[in-house]
Amino acid sequence: MVLSDTTADAAAPSRIRERLTLSLREFIVSGELKGGQKLNEADLARRLKTSRTPLREALLHLERESLVRSDLRRGFSVEPLSAREVRETYPMLSSLESHAVRSSLAFIPALIPELERINAAFERARSAERALKLDTLWHDTLMSQSNNARLKALVTNLRRAIERYERIYMADVSLTAISARQHEAILAAFRKGRADAALRALEENYDFGMRALLKKMGED
């Protein structure tokens, strides 16, 4: 299909906003732009080779992801890391993923070999970026057979919101080793046909991650 000039013109700004959003999100989740840091739009526009209008549109998109905040007088700044966000988001993710898995239990046995392969690679990962990618893949695969598209979209958005926190967690090799063992415990329960035990272990996996992060953030 050939796009008309009008359609192509409309698509170009969308592609620019998407590129800018991806770049800015990476700056934030990697820690290159720190929590609480005021954003200099002129500097960012020069760095990203863009104009202020699409840059602001990208920043407003990231505000909806809770990565950026805006103020009429002060402009944009990076949303500070928040223990409250950790406490609120991890239980939500746990509940949503558990619901997705419970609704597709009949398909879990067929997924186990792939989940084992991903977990073995996750256990060997030695960079936070790779560990995060493999951990996300493991959880996505576990809930992949759910046909609830809206639930999956919610999970994706929540994971984006906590990616900064997950990178902090995944930078600690001792914690990723614990997570890999927890993944194996979940799979062991599924192999034995003990779905309720597997789902409890999944909730414990999220709860441990939340508590470990809160501790790293200075909370008991």
Task: Give the DSSP letter of residue 70.
Answer: E
Phi, psi of 78 (to 5 degrees): -75, 135
CA distances from 19 to 24, 50, 76, 182, 203 (A): 9, 10, 19, 36, 35
pLDDT digits (tens), the chain, 220 positions: 444 443 433 457 788 889 999 999 989 988 899 889 999 999 999 999 999 899 999 999 999 888 899 988 889 999 999 999 999 999 999 999 999 999 999 999 999 999 999 999 999 999 999 999 999 999 999 999 999 999 999 999 899 889 999 999 999 999 999 999 999 999 999 999 999 999 999 999 999 999 999 999 988 6
Domain extents for the chain?
5-78, 83-216
Which pTM was predicted?
0.83
Give the closest residue to 161 by CA, choosing from 116, 107, 96.
96
Tokens 């050939």, residue located: 2
Report whether CATH 1.10.3720.10 matches the domain 5-78.
no
pLDDT, one tens digit per residue, over 101-121 is 999 999 999 999 999 999 999
Separation CA 27–CA 10 (nearest Å): 27
Separation CA 19–CA 16 (nearest Å): 5
Give the closest residue to 17 by CA, choosing from 47, 51, 40, 42.
51
Degrees, nearest 5: CA angle 111-117-123:
130
Degrees, nearest 5: CA angle 205-210-215:
125
| CB 94, CB 182: distance < 8 Å | no
pLDDT, one tens digit per residue, over 146-178 is 999 999 999 998 998 899 999 999 999 999 999
- Specify the CATH class of 83-216 in words: mainly alpha
Q: Which long-range contacts (CB under 8 A, 24 or more apart) does 64-69 make?
A: 65/25, 65/157, 65/160, 65/161, 66/161, 67/25, 67/28, 67/29, 67/160, 67/161, 67/164, 68/24, 68/28, 68/39
Q: Which amino acid, one-letter code, is at 192?
A: K
Phi, psi of 68 (to 5 degrees): -135, 150
